[in-house]
Amino acid sequence: MKAPRKQAPRDQAETAQAAPARVSRGRTVRTVGGLSVRVDVRAFTVVVLLLVAALTAGVVLIGTGDFPISAGDVVRTLLGNGDAGQEFIVNELRLPRVLVGLLVGASLGLGGALFQAISRNPLGSPDVLGLGQGSTAGALVMIVLFSGTARQVTVGALIGGLVTGLAIYLLAWKRGVHGYRLVLVGIGVSAIVTAVNGYLITKADLVDATRAVVWMTGSLNGRDWEQVWPLLGLCAVLVPLVLGNARALRMLEMGDDVAYALGVRVERTRLLLLVAAVLLTASATAAAGPVGFVALTAPQLARRLTCSPGPNLVPAMCMGATLLVVADWASQRVFGADQLPVGVVTGILGGVYLLWLLVTERKAGRI
């Protein structure tokens, strides 16, 4: 695993100026064989801390519910030393839910970071581009027209998301995919699909409509091992693939021409990463519904913690996982178990964050 390059915090920068200038800031590890790997100390620390936070939140979340279990007991049970009752609750009921939360959060965080890097826009997240709407359309078709089972809804959502992603890519393609065009086409597609969704909801009876709205908000209720394995498999394939292309993605940040001049095969890299991002987002959405704002906020928060340019893929992934599990825990604590789905909490958190982002970024003259 490699971490993005970083810039030192400013106080370090000043001392570096006094010393003979170091050209770049990452710690470099070199071997005799001429191999060299750069490690960004700060980003690495952030990743470790986020992982610790995510796991801690996961343990606490497993302990939360109608039958509270202490953190010590949770850990003991997870290690296989708990009593039978606790073992059932932990391993069969709550662990899969937490794992789905972690995986969905990580996928959304990574997918969001990819979309933002490719569209070169901090707001170019899958929520805005209409992927969530596409998944919703697939799920609504299953719920409203076929009164489908949970599994059918999942499959429908997956197909909806993938088809929407494909449609956006094809429609935005015109001698290559321009970030700007991608965002605007996404907004257009999103509007069409939203209208279709609105129509489907008006067609549904009230029970189905309620089920649809709960699904649309994003929820981790009742997720079990059946959701864990496909997600885990997909992440195992896609995450290494994406990270292998992270350096090329970093070059893409400087504009297509510069990346091209540096020998990056721009369109191919972009297509590969977009496909990966669509797969990650669509499968996460299929598993838990379009949980709002994780994909939008996780990369931005991660970036502010690592203080480093570049897509910050690994930190964004860890941040997504942490955010989602913490939000799930918060929704259970604040509103009571299973009253409000996790998507409401991430929506509220994300909304506040987004307003702040728009104001500050505007002052900084960005976006």
Partner 1 sequence: MNPDAHARTDADTDGETRTTRTTRTGPNHRRSTVSRLSAEDVTLAYDQRVIAERLSVEIPDNSFTVIVGPNACGKSTLLRALSRMLKPRQGRVLLDGQAIQSMPARKVARTLGLLPQSSIAPDGITVGDLVGRGRYPHQGLLRQWSTDDERIVRESMTATGVAELADRYVDELSGGQRQRVWIAMALAQQTPLLLLDEPTTFLDIQHQIDVLDLCAELHEEQGRTLVAVLHDLNHAARYATHLIALREGAVIAEGAPADIVTAELVEEVFGLRCQVIDDPETGTPLVVPAARKARTAAVKSVGVPSVGVGKG
Partner 2 sequence: MLVDSPPEPSAETAPAPPRRRAVRAAGLLVSLVVLVLVAVASIAIGAKELSLEQVWHGLFQDSGTYGDVVVGERLSRTVLGLLVGAALGLAGAVLQALTRNPLADPGLLGINAGASAAVVTAITFFGVTSLNGYVWFAFAGAAAVGVLVFFLGGSRGATPVRLALAGTAISAALYGYLQAVMITDEAALGKMRFWTVGSLASATSDIIWQVLPFLAAGTVLALALARPLNAMAMGDDTARALGAHLNRTRALSMAAATVLCGAATAACGPIVFVGLMVPHVVRSFTGPDLRWILPYATVLSPVLLLGADVIGRIVARPAELQVGIVTAILGGPVFIFLVRRRRTAQL
Tokens of 28: 């470099």
- Per CB under 8 A, the list member of 24, 45, 149, 360 interacting with partner 1 is 24
- Per CB under 8 A, the list member of 202, 236, 263, 364 interacting with partner 2 is 202
Question: According to CB under 8 A, which residues from 115 to 144 bind partner 2?
Answer: 120-121, 123-124, 127-128
Cβ-proximal residues to 309 (8 Å cutoff; 6+ apart), any chain = 4, 5, 7, 253
Crossing angle of the two packed helices 179-203 and 95-119, in degrees rounded to 10: 140
Question: According to CB under 8 A, which residues from 106 to 165 bind partner 1?
Answer: 120
- Per CB under 8 A, the list member of 5, 38, 178, 304 interacting with partner 2 is 178
Contact 323, 296 (CB under 8 A): no
Contact 111, 284 (CB under 8 A): yes
Question: According to CB under 8 A, which residues from 166 to 185 bind partner 1?
Answer: 175
Cβ-proximal residues to 358 (8 Å cutoff; 6+ apart), any chain = 367
Q: Does 56 bind partner 2 (CB under 8 A)?
A: no
Contacted entry of partner 2, partner 1, none for residue 184, CB cut-off 5 to 8 Å set by kind: partner 2
Helix ranges restricted to H, 64-142: 71-78, 84-87, 95-119, 126-129, 131-140
Question: According to CB under 8 A, which residues from 37 to 56 bind partner 1?
Answer: 37-38
Binding mask 282-301 for partner 2 (x = CB under 8 A): ----------xx--------
Minimum distance between the CB of residue 42 and partner 1, rounded to whole angstroms? 13
Q: Does 354 bind partner 2 (CB under 8 A)?
A: yes
Piece in contact with partner 2 (CB under 8 A), picked from 91-99, 100-108, 178-186, 265-273: 178-186
Tokens of 180: 């700007």
Partners of 173 in the β-ladder: 177
Q: Does 343 bind partner 2 (CB under 8 A)?
A: yes
Question: According to CB under 8 A, which residues from 67 to 96 bind partner 1?
Answer: none
Q: Does 32 bind partner 1 (CB under 8 A)?
A: no
Rounded CA-CA distance 38/299 in Å is 21
Crossing angle of the two packed helices 41-63 and 294-306, in degrees rounded to 10: 130
Phi-psi region of 218 (alpha: psi -120 to 50; beta: other; left: phi over 0): left
Collapsed DSSP state (helix, strand, coil) of residue 38: strand
- Per CB under 8 A, the list member of 1, 16, 195, 337 interacting with partner 2 is 195
Q: What share of the chain is helix, strand, coil (3-state, %, to 5)?
A: 75, 5, 25
| Residue in 298, 281, 274 with CA at minimum distance from that of residue 235 | 281
Minimum distance between the CB of residue 3 and partner 2, rounded to whole angstroms? 28
| Residue in 103, 27, 162 with CA at minimum distance from that of residue 318 | 103
* Residue that has been written with the tokens 């810039």 in this structure: 7
Minimum distance between the CB of residue 256 and partner 1, rounded to whole angstroms? 8
Rounded CA-CA distance 233/321 in Å is 16
- What is the enclosing helix (H) or strand (E) of 39? strand 36-39
Q: Does 307 bind partner 1 (CB under 8 A)?
A: yes
Q: Does 251 bind partner 1 (CB under 8 A)?
A: yes
Q: Does 264 bind partner 1 (CB under 8 A)?
A: yes
Question: According to CB under 8 A, which residues from 208 to 237 bind partner 2?
Answer: 209-210, 213-214, 216-217
Our CB check for partner 1 shows the closer of 5 and 76 to be 5
What is the contact surface with partner 1 in residues (CB under 8 A)?
2, 5, 7, 13, 16-17, 21-26, 28, 30, 34-38, 120, 175, 244, 247, 250-251, 253-255, 257-258, 260-265, 307-310, 366
What is the contact surface with partner 2 in residues (CB under 8 A)?
120-121, 123-124, 127-128, 171-172, 174, 178-181, 183-185, 187-192, 194-196, 198-199, 201-202, 206, 209-210, 213-214, 216-217, 292-293, 339-341, 343-344, 347-348, 350-351, 354-355, 358-359, 362, 367
